[in-house]
Amino acid sequence: MGEQGRRWSAFTEADAAFTNTLLPGLVTELDGYGLMELEGEGSPVLDLFRKAKGPGLLIPARHGGHGLDCRDALRVQSALATLSPSLGVGTMMHHLAVVSFVEYLRVHVGDDAPQWALLASVARRNHLLASASSEARRGSDALVPRTTATVQEDGGYVLNGSKKPCSLARSMDILTSSVLVRSDDERDGTVALAVIPAAIEGVGVRPFWRAPVLVAAESEEVVLDQVHVPAEMVVPGGRPERGMDELQVRAWTWFEVLACGTYLGTAQSLFDRAAHAPRVERRALGELAAELFVCRSACERAAATFDAGGAAEDAMTEALLARLFVEERLPDLCARLARLLGGLAFVTGPEVAYLVSAARALAFHPPRGVSSAESLGGRFTGAPLDLSIF
């Protein structure tokens, strides 16, 4: 219990209190562990998140969840990642699976469809959802899943494919995956969303993550090998050649905002340490506070635009602007915070080096920074936002 009673900075105190009230006691419990206890194998972070009823954060209130908007979800992500970057990353992917399913249901089956019962069950039972919908490929086939769903004579499907890395691989209760439908009718070639119980026969997990950071996010390879599912577990969609539709744009806007908030939380953890370090250089701390403030403000602006309900492409544009700025500034910001903390803090414990390293992982989530910059440049010269970058 190496960091009990930690002191928060102004960047984290309000969000930590908000999160601790929303998810009773979670911040307090996490604060009872040292950082490295929370980040390694055998970490309790996902169990603590379940216990605090975190899986229902983004599920609509009418279906038993908290129904958080994007701006409040950003606050929670930052607070949790300040204490455990792995928890931030793992829950970020759970939330992507939830919002992808929410948007799918709203568009394809309506607000009163029986499929909503699954999300109500997730909120009630505190199930964790893993997402196998991100292919992280660019080009004309980027929206065509590699995982297939072949229609059977009984009307069900057989699923085959894999996703790596897939966060929450060992703790997931449900896997959601985009699938390419194979059939002898008009469904052939369409993209659907499969909702798969993790314990069903044919779902396997293979070791994949060998990096020493973010281990507790459980990002391994998930394999689907002849997985038989009934028809009601596959929600129909459209054809990939139509490009990313509005619901996909909305889901990925959520992701970009929450990803930025997660990794900013890692930087905020370093800032908290620097703010309470003895004999800290105040001018340097103030300069870093200004940079952190601008990064966070960009994310809050993108979240507020999304929550206002405007055009999906406008919200995505702001989310990508925030992402590009945060991704560019974060490595230097964390390096300067580490320098401000001093060599003694760096060499006498693993926490500072670990946080600096973990913050770099934002660059490895889609889309690539170069691609985002090119797409945004096109948008501001009058072209549509190029979403093939995902």
> What is the tens place of the pLDDT at every residue in 306-362?
999 989 999 999 999 999 999 999 999 999 999 999 998 888 889 999 999 999 999
Written as one letter, the residue type at 178 is S
> Rounded to an integer, what distance in angstroms lies between the CA atom of residue 150 and that of residue 349?
52
- Distances in Å between the alpha carbon of 378 and those of 374, 383, 387? 6, 5, 11
How confident is residue 103, by pLDDT bands cut at 50, 70 and 90?
confident
- Its pTM stands at 0.93
Give the model's confidence band at 388: pLDDT under 50 very low, under 70 low, under 90 confident, else very high. confident
Q: How far apart are CA 317 and CA 307, in angstroms?
A: 14
Tens-place pLDDT, residues 68-99: 999 999 999 999 999 999 999 999 999 999 99
Of 281, 270, 386, whose CA–CA distance to 338 is shortest?
270
Q: Checking DSSP bridges between strand 157-166 and strand 220-229, what pairing results, if any?
A: antiparallel
Expressed in angstroms, the distance from the first to the final Cα of the chain is 40
